[in-house]
């Protein structure tokens, strides 16, 4: 376990900060507009989901590997898939803000940020951040599925 933590050092990754800001920007806009509601019906799982999301994002930005993984071409890496997930996330947010809140749009709103953050942490081989991000993804998606099944989310 000690070797696991010795692989990381405190640092700052400007590209990870940019990626985290890109993922969180629509959610911040959503939180600032009181007219939109009902996307997150259960508060307790959502609070824990946000705690794990913040912890994972913090670890991605402020803790870096002592020996970074080898550089791969952009088109041969998980970054391309993560970029697609980010594009789908922004498309879903635009549709949501335009008043289209179908089941598919809401699914993309919940799944795409999880996919983006997990893929980036896997690509950077940053398992310290992948653990809370996996918990964030699991809590977020399971609570959403429960809300859909129980009728707590209106489309």
82-112 pLDDT per residue, tens: 889 999 999 999 998 888 878 888 889 889 9
Of the candidates 135, 111, 112, the one whose C-alpha atom is nearest the C-alpha of residue 59 is 135
* CB contact at 8 A, 136 and 53: yes
pLDDT band, very low/low/confident/very high, at 120 (cuts 50, 70, 90): confident
Q: Is 20 exposed, middle or buried (0-12, 13-18, 19+ CB in 10 A)?
A: buried
The whole-number pLDDT of residue 76 equals 65
Residue tagged 């600032």 (tokens): 32
What integer is the mean pLDDT of 113-138? 88
pTM of the model: 0.81
62-66, 82-86, 126-130 — which one is most confidently predicted on average? 82-86
- Which range is least confidently modeled, 25-29, 43-47, 93-97? 43-47
* CB contact at 8 A, 124 and 82: no
């Amino acid at each position: 376990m000690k070797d696991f933590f010795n692989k990381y050092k405190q640092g700052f990754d400007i590209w990870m900060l940019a990626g985290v800001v890109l993922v969180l920007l629509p959610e911040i806009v959503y939180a600032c507009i009181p007219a939109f509601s009902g996307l997150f019906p259960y508060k307790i799982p959502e609070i824990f989901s946000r705690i794990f999301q913040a912890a994972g994002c913090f670890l991605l930005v402020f803790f870096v590997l002592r020996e970074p993984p080898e550089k791969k071409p952009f088109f041969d890496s998980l970054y391309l898939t993560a970029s697609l997930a980010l594009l789908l996330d922004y498309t879903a947010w635009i549709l949501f803000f335009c008043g289209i809140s179908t089941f598919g749009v809401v699914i993309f709103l919940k799944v795409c940020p999880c996919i983006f953050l997990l893929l980036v942490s896997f690509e950077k081989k940053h398992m310290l951040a992948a653990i809370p991000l996996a918990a964030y993804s699991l809590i977020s998606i399971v609570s959403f599925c429960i809300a859909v099944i129980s009728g707590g989310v209106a489309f």
